Amino acid sequence: MVAALLGTGSAWADQKVIHALGEDLPQPGALFEDVRAMKLAPGRRIVCESDTDKPRLANPGLMQPQRSRGADHVRRCSVFADDGKDNWVVAGVATVFGEARLWLIFVEQGAQGRYRLAQLSLWGRNSEWNKAAGLLGAMLGEPSTKAERVLGWMDEQHETLMFIDEKYPDEFAVAIGDIRLRKLMKSPGTAIRE
């Protein structure tokens, strides 16, 4: 029953919010293969740390496999583009608050090696903070978490965070995750068998 809930419920995750942020963005809960096939601007592609055919990255450290608990069951991905010198760099996707970097975290669900999108995050320019905060507030209501440089909304299935990371003070992030799938990321193995 839990597998059935994860398999179907999460596929409908926060559709209204995701669609409002950007037309072609993937939904939390989406299958890895479906997200890999998403529509991107010409010359861009999704690259994951687990890819064996990665292009030559300008910063290869971005896609180094993570060595942490449960890392074998997690895939991190982002959108890259050729910089014209046969080096691939992180590239943006179109959003309502301008071009933003897209990072994706997938987690393995079940014993068949199926990966689902546990969280997506968009990194945009700080000048667009008010626009994004206003849009999210209009759709999700008053934030349940309100602190300097952090806003958060949560329901039974999804968590949406908007924050500024000290490492990237010129940008803000909007991270939307499926709470149940993200719990699998913390487990030492595949927590739910189908």
Element (H, E) at 5: helix 2-8
Exposure letters 58-70 (e unless 16+ CB within 10 A, then b): eeeebbeeeeeeb
* Residue with the larger pLDDT of the pair 190 and 146: 146
Which pTM was predicted?
A: 0.84
- Residue ranges covered by each domain of the chain: 2-185
* Residue with the larger pLDDT of the pair 93 and 14: 93
- pLDDT surpasses 60 at 13: no
Q: Give the model confidence (pLDDT) of 66-118 as tens digits.
A: 665 456 789 999 999 999 898 999 999 999 999 999 999 999 988 777 999 99
CA 22 to CA 9: how far, in whole Å?
Answer: 21
Reported confidence tier of residue 43, pLDDT bands at 50, 70, 90: very high
| Burial of 171 from C-beta contacts in 10 A (0-12 / 13-18 / 19+) | middle
Reported confidence tier of residue 186, pLDDT bands at 50, 70, 90: low
